[in-house]
A and B are shown apart, each in its own frame.
Chain A
Amino acid sequence: MKGFSWSRWIGIMLKEFIQLRRDRLTFGMIIGIPVMQLMLFGFAINSDPKSLPTAVISADNSSLARSIVAGLKNSGYFRIVREISSEAEADRQITEGEVQFVVHIPENLARRVVRGERPALLIEADATDPSATANAVSALSGIGRTALAREFTGPLARLAPLPDPLDIRVHRRFNPEGVTQYNIVPGLLGVILTMTMVLMNGLAMTRERERGTFENLLATPAQPVEVMTGKLVPYILIGLLQVSLVLLAAHFIFHVPMQGSLLAIYAVVLLFIAANLTLGITFSTLARNQLQAMQMTFFYFLPSILLSGFMFPFRGMPGWAQVLGNLLPLTHFLRLVRGLMLKGSAAAELWPDIWPLLAFMLVVMAAGLRFYRRTLD
């Protein structure tokens, strides 16, 4: 960037720090919002999503096995997206969140049913978001019986009166007890950061405009890039402070497990903070006063909460809503942070949700620099 001055950049950053330190209300908000939201959202939020993506590993190609798969489909809860052959592949799919369930159909299923052996049907469920899987799981036991009832005709009719021809075992992965807080608390990280980062930074610039100090800033040789990025730094630190608060609460109050590395979590958090801050500062270049900046923040905040999978299971939404949801940074951040905390995802598994964050940030930053007013026109 032509004429970028680190000295000016540091000056802007220091000024922002000093002003922030003297602004008691904002400071209270930084601590108050995470604490309050943690307390409020400790309660579960439930829903009943259907058509959850499901993979099938079938070691048995009998008509009976096919009826079971058809039965799963007919229940409405399961949408069979693919048939896979290896256990490793199944594991990868569920860890990356490609599918919500993996149905394992064991060898010789049909023969063993006919013999009345009650063979086990294993269903792995991604239970990071327990509300997303709960109803599907409870529908399972009925499926076995109704799906097979049609097969039990003729010589097999003797099997029909048996209580349950299959032994359906559900393996809840990543969150075996289905604790809602495991899902909500990591999600709160994202919600709190979205709210405070966009808002505070949105106010930072419009405050200058409202108090008339922007004219003074404009009259100096300070460059837009210096002003925009210099103002970000203090908020990045605040964001990290909030994250630490929530993580501590997650560990000590809600006992959320921590599968991934703390370092990776902070790295992902930094990326997410940066994306939100650039949005905030872009809002503030568009808004004429603090009230408008606040309105824009809420306009953005509401869909973030509703469509990101924080409030309602992402897979429970119609396709168009999922497309919208995928445009929001919070959606990707939630997958990343839940993946890291509950699944211990590896870097390669995170990439599909990292690049959308980067892309979002670049687009928004470009817009911000485009709309930053170098003059008072």
Chain B
Amino acid sequence: MSAGDLAIDVQQLNKHFGDKHVVKDLSLSVRRGEIYGFLGPNGSGKTTSIRMLCGLLTPDSGSGTCLGHDVIRDTAAIKREVGYMTQRFSLWEDLNLRENLDFIARMYGMRERRRAVDEALENLGLAARQKQLAGALSGGWKQRLALAACMLHKPRLLLLDEPTAGVDPKARRDFWQAIHELAADGISVLVSTHYMDEAERCHRLAYIAYGNLLASGTAASIIEQQKLSTWSVSGADLAALAQQLQGMPGVAQITPFGNTLHVTGRDEQALAASVARLAENSAQRWERIQPGLEDVFIALMEGTAQS
């Protein structure tokens, strides 16, 4: 793979705030036309990483390129070609929809500004409400407006920071539909999220916790790498069972999933033995399953929290 195929290619990025080391040696490569998921617990450095990629924060050390521009020196060029959607709604609540889009279009020095804004409003389905103040929109509509605003100047790379937090499932599905269409057109997308279903829609993923990149690759390869074994148990008295499981050999984590419990561990044989002991004289039904992304991420998160 040549460097030209990479939308983001950074090595060893570091960032401190005071004596807090927020991002540690982050290396990341995102291919063109790829949807790259960025996962990790709150406060793990996702937002800081994204801000470093689009020139809003200067890395303390490290190097790399974003759309072929140097992330340290060419931030002006990066800003022109990147669309960045902030985690918190950051358009102007006291401007109406058209005024917001028009302002953004002016900031990017767009020609045919009017037509671009008209099109964006039309695509959003908000043409009729263009005179409404952005502050009066509901959460879901704000997200859509923000996405429309960061795509207005036809960027080649989108950096989306938790774009669907607090958005209803239908709006989320529409949102991902739109992201996939963009990716099909060759636009690269780096998107941070907490939702597992969204993670599974990404081409590749990175998992970051407390500033460290813990795993990266496709969803399947990340699951593979972690070498977890997971059992699903269903039946009565799961709460009591969970108590019992706590601290048994091979059991690393017990996670309720609706009417079942997922019991996961790294030591396959020890876990199997523990399960066999419990399964002998109980009415619960045990089943060995393929661990999911969520099992893996919880394992990763607990692993770092303990260390």
Seen from chain A, the residues whose Cβ lies within 8 Å of a Cβ on chain B are 3, 5, 7-8, 10-11, 14-15, 18-19, 22-23, 211-222, 375-377
Contacts and interface: CB of A to CB of B under 8 A. Distances in A.
B89 interface: yes
28 contacts: A5-B109, A8-B107, A10-B106, A11-B102, A11-B103, A14-B103, A14-B106, A15-B92, A15-B95, A15-B99, A18-B94, A18-B99, A19-B92, A19-B95, A211-B90, A211-B92, A212-B89, A212-B90, A213-B91, A215-B86, A216-B90, A220-B79, A220-B108, A221-B108, A375-B56, A375-B57, A376-B57, A377-B57
Which of B86, B90, B108 has its CB near the most chain A CB atoms (within 10 A)?
A: B90
Contacts, number: 74
B134 to A, nearest CB: 10
Given A19-B92, A213-B90, A220 B107 contact: yes
A96 to B, nearest CB: 48
Nearest to B82: A219
- Pairs A-B, 7 closest by C-beta atoms: A11-B106, A220-B107, A216-B90, A219-B84, A212-B90, A221-B79, A22-B94
Contact of B107 (A23, A211, A222): A222
Contact of B54 (A22, A212, A219): A219
Given A19-B95, A211-B93, A215-B86, A375 B80 contact: no
B37 interface: no
Interface residues of B, number: 30
Interface of B: 51, 54-58, 75-76, 79-80, 82, 84, 86, 88-95, 99, 102-104, 106-109, 133
A376 B22 CA distance: 14
B106 A216 contact: no
A23 B94 CA distance: 8
Contacts of A214: 90
B89 A377 contact: no
A21 B76 CA distance: 32
Given A11-B106, A15-B95, A216 B57 contact: no
Given A11-B103, A11-B106, A219-B79, A377 B92 contact: no
B124 to A, nearest CB: 17
B265 to A, nearest CB: 42
A14 to B, nearest CB: 8
Nearest to B54: A219
Contacts of B109: 5, 7-8, 221
A182 B90 CA distance: 49
Given A211-B90, A220-B104, A375-B58, 4 more contacts: A15-B95, A212-B89, A215-B56, A216-B91
Nearest to A227: B107
Best-buried of A10, A22, A220 by chain B (most CB within 10 Å):
A220
A221 B76 CA distance: 6
B57 A213 contact: no
Contacts of A375: 55-58, 75
Contacts of A14: 103, 106
Nearest to A218: B56
Given A8-B107, A221-B109, A212 B80 contact: no
A10 B89 CA distance: 24
Contacts of A211: 90, 92-93
Given A15-B99, A218-B56, A212 B88 contact: yes
A215 B47 CA distance: 12
Contacts of B79: 219-221
A18 B109 CA distance: 20
A213 B92 contact: yes
A213 B82 CA distance: 17
B106 A7 contact: yes
A377 B84 CA distance: 17
B61 to A, nearest CB: 14
A10 B109 CA distance: 11
A234 B116 CA distance: 27
A217 B104 CA distance: 9
Contacts of B89: 212
Given A18-B95, A221-B80, A215 B107 contact: no
A211 B84 CA distance: 17
Contacts of A19: 92, 94-95
A198 to B, nearest CB: 22
A12 to B, nearest CB: 8
A8 B102 CA distance: 11
Contact of A15 (B82, B90, B103): B103
Nearest to A21: B94
A7 B105 CA distance: 10
Contacts of B84: 219
A23 B102 CA distance: 20
Of B75, B88, B106, B109, chain A has the most CB atoms within 10 Å of the CB of: B106
Contacts of B108: 220-221
A14 B99 CA distance: 10
A375 B79 CA distance: 12
Nearest to A20: B94
Given A10-B106, A220-B79, A221-B79, A376 B90 contact: no
A220 B76 CA distance: 9
Contacts of A217: 107
A14 B75 CA distance: 26
B163 to A, nearest CB: 14
Contacts of A22: 94, 133
B145 to A, nearest CB: 12
A216 B87 CA distance: 11
Contacts of B80: 221
A167 to B, nearest CB: 69
A219 B99 contact: no
A218 to B, nearest CB: 6
Nearest to B81: A221
Nearest to B52: A375
Contacts of B94: 18-19, 22-23
Contacts of B58: 375, 377
A10 B103 CA distance: 10
Contact of B56 (A3, A212, A219, A221): A219
